[in-house]
Amino acid sequence: MIASDLLKGTLRTIVLKLLADNGRMYGYEMTKKVEELSAGKIKLTFGALYPVLHKLESDGHIITEEEYIGKRVRKYYSLTEQGRSWTEKKVDEFFEYVSTLTYVLNPTPV
């Protein structure tokens, strides 16, 4: 299980990357997908997920489509053009961060 304070800064990047790889997704699907990809180590709570989704939507990085499932509405999220290029940037930044961090935490002797 990965501590939630470690996840905090990366949640947005995870969400963006999920949408870039899978096209449109709804919230529950995302939590399931992340759980599956991380072999159960990362559990997105909806308390953390939905504020991020709504913020990304209001910033124009993602859009929603609504579909009726029985009597309830399901909201599918997908990237906008702007969101797509932003995702690339964010993912690159993240990999750079991870490799830097690996280097810092694991310095190889000269």
Task: List residues binding other proteins (CB under 8 A).
Answer: 4-5, 8, 26-28, 31, 46-47, 50-51, 53-55, 58, 66, 69-75
Residue 7 and residue 4: Cα distance in Å, rounded?
Answer: 5
Judged by beta carbon, residue 48 or residue 91, the one nearer other proteins is: 48
Output the CA angle 6-8-22, nearest 5 degrees: 105
C-beta closer to other proteins: residue 23 or 51? 51
Mapped onto helix, strand or coil, the DSSP state of residue 75 is: strand
The least distance separating other proteins from the CB of residue 59, rounded to whole angstroms, comes to 10
